[in-house]
């Protein structure tokens, strides 16, 4: 069910606003109306929160040997910068440790930028050899100006007019010169190079020091990577501080009073009233008014409550005025999951990985996701066992009547897979008819319930028509045709009232297109067969590649194992992707369009501690 929400307005003394917010947070039931926060306190809390998350990534990257992010700035690598050292991280704890990690990464980034700049400078001057720029400056004072220049090998060096023109080195493309008192401009192809600020040896020495400092900083971070959980433990408190600052900024204030509004579930109103009485707050609670948009709190039956975690992960929520579709969503999503994966081996592997993750993480593994994954994986194993599909192979002797029925169809071998398509279309029709009959029950006894019953009849006709098109049925019987005619009449006559014809009459004009859309919706469920079959065929092809290698048996073991591991690994990941694309779509688009679920709501998020 979608829980009824009550609107509340709370008034308190401005001087006691922090105590009021603390009490509300402790209650954990009020969804506050928050304004965009920009206070200094909020920005500080947000910076600390993002800094903690960044510190964790820094430790992980350092442990993985990833280089620091150098950025786009330029750093002059002087002696002090090159010798930069990170603080002793082993002595620090908590927030100080997180801040020191950020500082260490800033040092690494500065060193990386300086090293890149110094390496480029060394690459520029190395062809000219090591000399003293100070000595060149002294010679210039005495009338002997030294100029460094480079030119392509094809350039005519004899065209240079200078007291001395000495070639210092050359590579595959260029020659490098030292010119004394040259006549400027130089001939075509020659380019002057500015005199270096210091000797080449000094630059190389500083580069080695900086590289050593960078290695030390990286090693220091990598050594403390195991303490990332210590920083992660700070995040809930930092998030609480940011939320509290945002809530405080959302308070309205005037003179000595402060107030805040929001929403609270109907069954939490007594607890809120009790706190208001204890704290001497002013509290007004009322029903939601037309035009208001309360948050949506979905509270499914206990056996289906885990599906709320799936809604949260997908970032979807029905609007407050819509229906709670948790039960059919969970039930059909489980079936779609099993059929799209289609392999008992994959289902068993996913179940084992889930249980292993639960054993490793313990209480940190969210219980709703444990329930969801166990149900989905068990359903996949059951479906794979019924179809006798185990990592793309069929085990002789395990093909029961269900597997034989699904692999055939009316007409013998020429009609292969007709029964599995029949199952897909039947699932689709039941899914969509359920949506329409549910609508009919919700609006009964209003006469529009006949229009919803009519749509259920149209879907049933489209189901029969689809099965006839692909050869499952021999045709559409006369009673189904009469049902279609009666259903269209019900939709045309009872969708709108006379008073609505002027404002919504276009809906009747769109009726032919909507009827054809119903045909497309039923056909859309064939994806369960197509995607599941594709997954099985891919697995079978990888099995064939591994087993049919034209090499001696003793040499097959390693390449065959690699082919199976890589092939089934890719297919396993693609199966997961197909669930996100197809299983979610059939519930949130085809079914939801017929049920009238727009998923335009926003989730109930009470102000509470993390």
**pLDDT band, residue 414 (cuts 50/70/90):** very low
DSSP string, 304-348: GTTHHHHHHHHT----TTS---HHHHHHHHHHHHHHHH--HHHHH
Residue 333 to residue 557: CA distance in whole angstroms: 39
Radius of gyration of the chain (CA): 36
Give the model confidence (pLDDT) of 248-293 as tens digits: 989 998 889 999 999 999 999 999 999 999 989 999 999 999 989 9
Going from N- to C-terminal start, the domains of the chain cover: 42-116+205-235, 131-198, 302-417+527-595, 418-524
Give the model confidence (pLDDT) of 499-551 as tens digits: 777 777 777 878 889 899 999 999 999 999 999 888 888 998 888 888 888 78
Q: What's the burial of 112, exposed, middle or buried (CB within 10 Å: 0-12/13-18/19+)?
A: buried
Element (H, E) at 97: helix 94-125
Give the model confidence (pLDDT) of 131-183 as tens digits: 888 888 888 888 888 889 999 988 888 888 888 888 889 888 899 998 888 88
CA atoms 446, 447, 451, 457: torsion sign: positive
Nearest Cα residue to 195 out of 256, 125, 122, 244? 125
Mean pLDDT of 406-430: 76
Nearest Cα residue to 176 out of 129, 117, 122, 121? 129
Strand pairing class (282-287; 5-13): antiparallel
Neighbours of 377 (CB within 10 A): 23
Task: Give percent above pLDDT 90 in the chain.
Answer: 43
CA atoms 443, 445, 448, 452: torsion sign: positive
Mean pLDDT of 68-83: 65
The answer to whether the bond into 608 is cis (omega within 30° of 0) is no
C-alpha atoms less than 13 angstroms from C-alpha of 188 in its C-beta half-sphere: 1
Give the model confidence (pLDDT) of 420-449 as tens digits: 899 999 999 999 999 999 999 998 988 889
Contact 568, 542 (CB under 8 A): yes
446 to each of 274, 439, 451, 495, how far by Cα in Å? 41, 11, 10, 11
253's CB contacts (< 8 A; 6+ apart) are 14, 259
What are the backbone dihedrals phi and psi of residue 218, each rounded to the nearest 5 degrees, phi first?
A: -65, -45
Tokens at 593, concatenated:
């369009």
Contact 472, 410 (CB under 8 A): yes
């Amino acid at each position: 069910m979608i829980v009824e929400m009550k609107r509340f307005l709370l008034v308190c003394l401005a001087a006691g606003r922090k105590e009021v917010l603390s009490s509300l947070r402790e209650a954990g039931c009020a969804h506050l109306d928050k304004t965009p926060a920009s206070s200094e306190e909020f920005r500080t809390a947000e910076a600390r929160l993002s800094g903690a998350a960044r510190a964790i990534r820094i430790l992980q990257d350092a442990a993985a040997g990833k280089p620091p992010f150098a950025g786009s700035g330029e750093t002059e690598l002087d002696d002090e910068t090159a010798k930069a050292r990170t603080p002793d991280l082993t002595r620090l704890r908590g927030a100080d440790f997180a801040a020191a990690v950020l500082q260490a990464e800033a040092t690494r980034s500065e060193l990386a930028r300086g090293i890149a700049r110094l390496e480029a400078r060394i690459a520029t001057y190395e062809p000219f050899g090591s000399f003293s720029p100070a000595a060149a400056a002294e010679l210039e004072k005495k009338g002997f100006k030294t100029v460094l220049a480079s030119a392509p090998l094809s350039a005519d060096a004899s065209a240079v007019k200078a007291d001395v023109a000495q070639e210092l080195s050359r590579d595959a493309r260029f020659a490098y010169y030292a010119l004394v008192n040259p006549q400027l401009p130089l001939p075509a192809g020659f380019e002057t190079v500015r005199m270096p600020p210091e000797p080449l040896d000094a630059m190389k020495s500083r580069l080695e020091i900086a590289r050593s400092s960078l290695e030390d900083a990286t090693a220091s971070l990598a050594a403390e990577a195991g303490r990332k959980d210590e920083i992660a433990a700070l995040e809930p408190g930092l998030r609480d501080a940011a939320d509290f600052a945002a809530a405080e900024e959302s308070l309205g204030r005037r003179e000595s009073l402060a107030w805040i509004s929001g929403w609270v579930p109907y069954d939490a109103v007594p607890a809120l009233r009790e706190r208001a009485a204890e704290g001497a707050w002013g509290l007004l609670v009322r029903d939601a008014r037309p035009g208001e948009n309360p948050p949506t709190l979905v509270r499914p039956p206990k056996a289906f409550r885990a599906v709320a975690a799936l809604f949260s992960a997908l970032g979807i929520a029905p609007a407050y005025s819509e229906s709670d579709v948790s039960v059919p969503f969970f039930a059909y999503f489980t079936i779609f999951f099993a059929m799209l994966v289609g392999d008992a081996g994959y289902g068993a592997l996913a179940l084992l990985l889930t249980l292993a993750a639960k054993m490793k993480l313990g209480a940190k593994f969210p219980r709703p996701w444990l329930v969801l994954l166990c149900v989905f994986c068990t359903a996949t194993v059951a479906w794979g066992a019924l179809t006798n599909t185990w990592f793309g192979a069929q085990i002789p002797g395990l093909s029961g009547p269900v597997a034989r029925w699904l692999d055939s169809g009316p007409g013998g071998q020429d009609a292969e897979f007709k029964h599995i398509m029949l199952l897909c279309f039947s699932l689709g029709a039941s899914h969509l008819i359920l949506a329409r009959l549910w609508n009919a029950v919700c609006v009964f006894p209003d006469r529009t319930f006949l229009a919803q019953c009519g749509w259920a009849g149209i879907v049933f006709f489209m189901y029969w028509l689809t099965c006839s098109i692909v050869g499952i049925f021999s045709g559409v019987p006369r009673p189904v045709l009469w049902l279609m005619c009666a259903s269209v009449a019900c939709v045309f006559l009872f969708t709108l009232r006379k008073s609505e014809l002027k404002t919504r009459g276009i809906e009747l004009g769109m009726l032919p297109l909507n009827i054809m859309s119903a045909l497309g919706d039923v056909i859309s469920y064939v994806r369960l067969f197509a995607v599941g079959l594709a997954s099985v065929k891919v697995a079978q092809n990888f099995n064939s590649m591994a087993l049919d290698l034209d090499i001696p048996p003793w040499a097959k073991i390693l390449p065959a194992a690699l082919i199976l591991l890589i092939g089934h690994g890719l297919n396993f990941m693609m199966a997961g992707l197909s669930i996100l694309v197809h299983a979610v779509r059939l519930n949130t688009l085809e079914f939801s369009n017929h049920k009238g679920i727009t998923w335009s709501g926003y989730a109930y998020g009470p102000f509470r501690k993390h």
